């Protein structure tokens, strides 16, 4: 049976989707901070099809792209122009097995963190928090408890109160909670409950 993520990557290859709005907002915020180019390290957690990774490379970030699917990393490696290859590191790892991250000025997690097993989420989040430097930025998404997938015991879901507690060491630059009926990549109907976050560490 084909890996369902292959279908996901193929879909995005065909659609040429732009980077996530949360990441675009985070990049705009980082540009105002005038970070020293030598210190511009971003981590793309669950980098998937690489759209966000490429956006960061184009903005002159050094990027550590992490994914548990080797197929994803191979696609990024193959599709990265030579101009950007020295800026890029690739790491094959699942969220559950991440035990450290480098000091980073930006951590991006577009629709990926909900797929961390709940038994490991708190540990992963503590690692993320500690690796973001002072004034550093987080951009990403979390699924709310009303999401149609919330009965999946392998995934992690949050309430608004939990989200605010998680970001108590940050200024929430953008925090939008959206609930709506929609579709998955495969076209199936689904009720979405998603928190869209951009935050800056105090």
Q: Which two tokens stand for residue 11?
A: 């879909």
The answer to whether position 3 is within a domain reads no
> pLDDT class for 67, splitting at 50, 70, 90?
very high
In-domain check, residue 10:
no
Q: What is the CATH number of the domain that holds 165?
A: 3.40.50.150
Task: Tell me if 9 is assigned to some domain.
Answer: no
192 pLDDT tier (thresholds 50, 70, 90): very high
Whether residue 108 is contained in a domain is answered as: yes
The percentage of the chain sitting over the pLDDT mark of 90, rounded to a whole number, equals 81
* 11 inside domain: no
Domain of residue 68, residue span: 20-201
The whole-angstrom separation of Cα 81 and Cα 53 is: 12
Beta-carbon count within 10 A of 150 CB: 16
Measure Cα distances from 135 to 20, 57, 100 in Å: 21, 20, 20
**Which residues are CB-contacts of 97 (< 8 A; sequence separation ≥ 6)?**
none
Q: Is the pLDDT of residue 12 over 50?
A: no
pLDDT tens digits for range 23-53: 999 999 999 987 776 779 999 999 998 999 9
Is the predicted pLDDT of residue 171 greater than 70, yes or no? yes
Number of domains in the chain: 1
* Interval 137-146: pLDDT, tens: 999 999 999 9
Report pLDDT digits (tens) over 88-101.
Answer: 999 999 999 999 99
Record the pTM.
0.90
């Amino acid at each position: 049976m084909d890996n369902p993520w292959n279908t996901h990557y193929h879909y995005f290859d065909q659609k040429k989707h732009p980077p996530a709005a949360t990441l675009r907002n985070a990049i705009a915020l980082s540009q105002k901070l005038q970070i020293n180019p030598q210190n511009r390290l971003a981590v793309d957690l669950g980098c998937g099809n690489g759209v966000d990774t490429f956006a960061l490379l184009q903005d002159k970030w050094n990027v550590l792209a992490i994914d548990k699917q080797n197929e994803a990393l191979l696609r990024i490696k193959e599709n990265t122009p030579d101009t950007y290859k020295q800026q890029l590191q690739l790491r094959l790892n699942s969220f559950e097995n991440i035990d450290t991250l480098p000091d980073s000025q930006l951590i991006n997690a577009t629709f990926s963190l909900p797929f961390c097993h709940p038994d490991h989420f708190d540990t992963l989040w503590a690692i993320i928090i500690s690796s973001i430097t002072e004034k550093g930025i987080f951009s990403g998404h979390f699924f709310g408890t009303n999401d149609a997938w919330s009965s999946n015991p392998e995934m992690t879901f949050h309430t608004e109160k939990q989200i605010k507690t998680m970001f108590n060491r940050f200024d929430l630059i953008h925090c939008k909670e959206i609930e709506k009926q929609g579709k998955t990549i495969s076209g199936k109907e689904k009720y979405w409950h998603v928190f869209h976050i951009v935050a800056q560490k105090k």
